[in-house]
Structure 1
Amino acid sequence: MFEKKTILVTGGTGSWGYELVRQLLGFNPKEIRIFSRNESNQFTMKQEFDNDRRLKFLIGDIKEREELTEACKGADYVFHLAALKHVPVCEDQPLEALKTNVNGTQNVIDAAIACNVDRVVYISTDKASNPSNFYGLSKAMGERLIIHANTLNAKTRFVCIRGGNVLGTNGSVIHVFKKHIQEKGKIGITDVNMTRFFLTLEQAIRLVFKATRESIGGEIFVMKMPSCKIIDLAHVLIEDSGKENVDIEILGVRPGEKIHELLLSEYESKTTILYDAEYYVILPPIYIEGLKEEYASYKPANLKNYNSSKDLMSKDEIRVMLKKGRFI
């Protein structure tokens, strides 16, 4: 699918981008353009990939439409990862989140259409489902823009992929907990009942490729992901550290933070089909030619919602997940 193709990755120097590029190289693409505003990360990434000639690093910001359009020229696929992602940052600076996560996404759409890109894949988050914070709201708006772009009578097809927390990404709770165990001898937990979806980065990227390959355009592919209690995750990391007398401090829920995350809301469940063992697919409320007909033979998901409080992993299962991700 990607052999001899030109691929643009926005926000390509983050954790998702690094793993995406690593796996894309295995498909022998013609060129991968890594578009980001982090000069230091670009330099480091270039060294870590041994100056692979198929990689082209471009300094740029998705808020700048002209630079983005230039980066899109000749591209076959665009993976749109660039975003402001941290909930507290987006709560404190909502205008910046709006400019990057919403206006920036529209710039990606416009650039892709102008350059006749085949497919744009937008990586979204569980926080976009029934959003309670500005980060989730801005990503939900990005989803709507991406879905609507399929009605613009362009060659380009647009698809969303929604997932939960990915282990080991920048700012991940795993890194924070491990650092605090070693340096402070304590971990801060916002609420003892808090649960989250988790998946390893390698698994998440494989699922991204599957949705890229099999999507029509206009869907939201929702990853099926295991979930766990954050306090159970903390206990496993404490046990693995070998340190004794590590305290757990209850901090209280931060503004905009949910106790349980949703990958699929009650409203969305009405138009959701059971795709396979790894995905649900949310069909859009707007008309996109041929889309509903394509999925007519699939069964409805028959879910009230899909939230992280259900089917929780045991501590042993959490330990297996962390070992698989090489975090313990």
Structure 2
Amino acid sequence: MNNSTFLITGGTGSWGLEIVKQLFDHKPKEIRIFSRNETRQVEMQQQFANDDRFKFIIGDIRDKEELMQACEGVDYVFHLAALKHVPVCEYQPLEAIKTNVLGTQNVIESAIENDVKKVIYVSTDKVSDPSNTYGITKALGEKLIIHANLKEANTKFICVRSGNVLGSSGSVIPIFKNQIKKISQIGITDQRMTRFFLTIEAAVQLLFKATINGKGGETYVLNMPSIKIADLAQVLIKSSGEKNIEIKEIGVRPGEKLNETLFTECESSRTVDFDKDYFVVLPSLTIPGLQEHYTSSTPVNLKEYSSATKQISISEVEQMLMKGGFLSWNKS
């Protein structure tokens, strides 16, 4: 990866910023930030104003011509761009298809045309047994990425599946903290709800693990903790120092599930332990050389990997949030 040119689609979010920070260790030749968010791009340009390795491109992955130009001379593509909010995708499914499915196909074709070495597709736990438009469109994106390895091309395509990134934009932590400060109440959909969580640093390490080790066609999954959303709320209430904060059940939103799954029972039969921290899900398609590469890896001893199976304790949740700096409060 050293002295390489990188393209990050949707690169102005929390993932993009952390990728850039960790890429510095790999001495990049050039980093191209491709996104629709002009404001975030300007902010990022100011943050890295004295570094001529950056190139900022206003563009949409729906625009194949723009992507083709952005991929010229690129070694690695980190494909993050997506419509991600469950309710938005549920009420505007066609828009989700245009970005998450057709946009991903544009990335694939642009990468092949420009002889990119590897494309890493950032997926989600919501692709496993999907119950909403977001999960379905991201699952189709995974299928396209995996199938692209059967094309006569030098480019390799690899997926990573992530849980909820702590503190990222739109995540529950900033929402809950704002609710505590503004209305002295936290709204959760159901007391029984669980989710997988990981830090942004661990999320990007997963991405790099797949970039360095991926052969093309597999899906990398981090062994990450599952948390009860109600426990998360309790920890934030305690850290705020506020009294009489109510936790109110507001009901499950359209397309939302009580628990998430990182790989299903169907996928477990073709999932292996990569090491103590990572799993690799092999595709149902036969990709030349891929399955053989993992024959020495140990099959997982799990029926499925669900957030409902086992959650960390409330004290472990507190330690995790404290380590990530999420228990500090701006009292102004």
TM-score by structure 1 length? 0.98
CA distance in structure 2 between the partners assigned to 1:113 and 1:274 by the alignment: 30
Alignment-mate amino acid for residue 262 of structure 1: T
Alignment-mate amino acid for residue 294 of structure 2: Y
Alignment of 1:1-328 (within 5 A): 1=1, 3-328=2-327
Cα deviation 1:121-180 (Å, max 9, x = unaligned): 000000011100000000000000000000002000000000110101110100000010
State the SS of the aligned residue for 1:249: strand
State the SS of the aligned residue for 1:57: strand
Residue 26 of structure 1, CA deviation: 2.6
Asked whether the equivalents of residues 46 and 52 of structure 1 are also in contact (C-alpha less than 8 Å), the reply is no
Higher mean Cα deviation, 263-272 or 235-244?
A: 263-272
Query: Cα distance 1:51–1:86, how it changes in 2: closer, same or farther (>3 A)?
Result: farther
Asked whether the equivalents of residues 206 and 220 of structure 2 are also in contact (C-alpha less than 8 Å), the reply is no
State the SS of the aligned residue for 1:8: strand
Residue 247 of structure 1, CA deviation: 0.7
Cα deviation 1:195-237 (Å, max 9, x = unaligned): 0000110111112111211111100111111011000000000
Unaligned runs of 5+ in 1: none
Let me know the Cα RMSD of the aligned residues.
Answer: 0.8
CA distance in structure 1 between the partners assigned to 2:16 and 2:91 by the alignment: 25
Q: Which residue of 1 aligns with 2:330?
A: none
CA distance in structure 1 between the partners assigned to 2:50 and 2:99 by the alignment: 29
Unaligned runs of 5+ in 2: 328-332
State the SS of the aligned residue for 1:26: helix
State the SS of the aligned residue for 2:301: coil
Percent of aligned positions with the same letter in both sequences? 59
Residue 310 of structure 1, CA deviation: 2.2
CA distance in structure 1 between the partners assigned to 2:3 and 2:299 by the alignment: 37
CA distance in structure 1 between the partners assigned to 2:301 and 2:105 by the alignment: 33
TM-score by structure 2 length? 0.97
Residue 311 of structure 1, CA deviation: 2.4
Cα deviation 1:250-296 (Å, max 9, x = unaligned): 00111111101000111111211111111111111111110111011
